[in-house]
Structure 1
């Protein structure tokens, strides 16, 4: 029976829920995220083979993140980034809302590149230096326009005329309570 799942506990003093592992008859990796928690960085070939099997990858395809990198992923595989928006919408996905198949190992930053979030441009039309030069040209042009138009008598000015402030001066009568004649 290929769909039968059996539980095998790893006994270390006492068996806890987080130390259980699931072995399927088909040999695919377990689908639960708490079981895919990255382990320590694989130093030996045997550790790399175990990590590749853990994540359901061929040994030739398994490549961990470089040791000492900022990712701190342990034995998690360095998979290519394919955002959700670039995946086929006509394919029969096991989870169509995520465009993922059952047992597929997700990218380490999979949640960042969902279809409702950021999708990096596939073939950007404009280069980064060109975009920066356009930005600085617009900001610089506006700055120069404001600088040269400030207090220019030939340009109409928006003004808000006001009277002088009416402050209290001692000895001056501003109003009286007497009736006018």
Structure 2
């Protein structure tokens, strides 16, 4: 175990830094995980409703894609927990944080795709309007702005050195 103090101004060892980063990551995952679990759970029930069987095949296909995306997102966002449990006590907390962070990022991308696909399906079934792709594109743009563009802008704008 490394006991060197990091040069980031926090005065924490590498092990302390990995512990802090793990705790921060778990807090972030809790937010996304709850959302994807609720959305996925809802999606799983749709197939059992009478309306589902009357849908056009195209809408059923969109539904299937949406459910699969939701399952993949749930898997990626839940993945850091078993990952940590399996490697716990092996003195590789830093590596666990790196892999959990990657899984979380992939999970967020899959959640983005799930939300977009679900919105497309709902609006398509509810309105049959030619504006649906435009509305969904606008919402997707909003998601991209909130989830990626603003954080990346802030990262570039306010980061003077490589910090984590």
Shared fold (TM-score, shorter chain, > 0.5): no
Superposition TM-score, scaled by structure 1 size: 0.19
Return the index of the structure with the highest Cα Rg: 1
Higher relative contact order structure (alpha carbons within 8 Å, sequence separation ≥ 6): 2
What is the TM-score with the length of structure 2 in the denominator? 0.21
1 or 2, which has the higher strand percentage?
Answer: 1
